Amino acid sequence: MGRKRYLFFDIDGTLLAGGPLGYVPESTKLAVKKLKEAGHFLAIATGRAQFMGAPYMQLLGMENMVSDGGNGITIDGELIGIEPLNKADVVALVRECEERGFPWGLAVDNSDVRLVPDGRFYEATHDNYIKCRIVPGLDPEDQEIIYKAYVVCREPEEYTLESLKKLPWCRYMPEYFFVEPTEKAVGIRRMMDYYHADYSDAIVFGDGANDLTMFTDDWTKVAMGNAIPELKAKADYVTTDVDQDGIYNACLALGLFEE
């Protein structure tokens, strides 16, 4: 084998085509197979919670993952840990949302449930991405750990929330935004350090706004053809769209397959 590389793949729009409930293209599955045969290290790097990324890790036969926007680490199939959000900052945000009348929810464990104080969140979003569990009198102060928060408002209302300036966030849905870590590079460095690997041996693949912080000069950066313009501008290589053999074509162009 030649030079061993450490590859980190975003899920939505990178490994996965067709939206959050889409599919992994056959060419991507073939690329992953050939990369494994060539002896490279493969990992997912996603903003999704660990439990939501795990099925794709298993589908593609991977055992390593940076999840929760860089705050979660899974190595050899075992969740090492997830760093929570700053509780005081989340409490301040919730208090401001309550004053403004914005419905909100919290993720307090690694599961497919968000806690909400009443039915307004679901009424405003009809969102089934994560289930809502109503906890009357829910108070973020009572939660030991908070991994994510969710706030219902229409863009650009979030920019008027003063307390949000201290928290990382991203909008994927028109109805609400996610308060979640967006520093995938932090998790990637932790994983590279775990394996005592040189950062220059890493290659990252992404397409969206939450991949911007992952596109650093520490390693090689590949943007999908369907990536946002800001990400393409930071990329070392721009491949074709996710549903047009993007992963396969990039790996081929970078000489990652065995001859």
Q: What is the DSSP string of 217-244?
A: TTSEEEE-TTS-HHHHHH-SEE---GGG
Per-residue pLDDT, averaged over 3-9, amounts to 97
**Given this model, what pLDDT does residue 129 score?**
84
CA-CA distance, 120 to 123, in Å (whole number)? 5
* Residues 187 and 228 both lie in one domain: yes
Share of the chain above pLDDT 70, in %: 99
Q: Is the pLDDT of residue 148 over 60?
A: yes
* Whether the bond into 84 is cis, omega within 30 of 0: no
Q: Is the pLDDT of residue 85 over 70?
A: yes
* Residues 189 and 116 both lie in one domain: no
Give the range of the structural domain holding residue 93, as residue numbers without chain letter: 87-179
> What is the amino acid identity at position 193?
D
Share of the chain above pLDDT 90, in %: 96
Indicate which CATH number applies to the domain containing 16.
Answer: 3.40.50.1000
CA-CA distance, 173 to 195, in Å (whole number)? 36
Does residue 124 lie within any of the structural domains? yes
* Residues 107 and 62 both lie in one domain: no
* Residues 106 and 174 both lie in one domain: yes
Contact residues for 161 (Cβ-Cβ < 8 A; gap 6+): 93, 96, 97, 100, 151
Q: Which residue, 129, 157, 179, sits at the end of a domain?
A: 179
* Residues 191 and 71 both lie in one domain: yes
Query: In 10 A of CB 222, how many CB atoms?
Result: 27
* Residues 162 and 99 both lie in one domain: yes
Per-residue pLDDT, averaged over 82-93, amounts to 98
pTM of the predicted model as reported, rounded to 2 decimal places: 0.93
Residue 1 banded pLDDT, cuts 50, 70, 90: low
**Given this model, what pLDDT does residue 20 score?**
80
Residue 39 banded pLDDT, cuts 50, 70, 90: very high
Q: Is the pLDDT of residue 236 over 70?
A: yes
Q: What is the pLDDT of residues 206-230, one digit of tens each?
A: 999 999 999 999 999 999 999 999 9
Q: What is the pLDDT of residues 55-79, one digit of tens each?
A: 999 999 999 999 999 999 999 999 9
- Whole-angstrom CA distances from 107 to 40, 151, 227, 255 are 34, 12, 28, 41
Does residue 259 lie within any of the structural domains? no
- Packing angle of the helix pair 246-253, 26-37 (nearest 10 deg): 30
Q: Is the pLDDT of residue 142 over 80?
A: yes
* Residues 213 and 242 both lie in one domain: yes
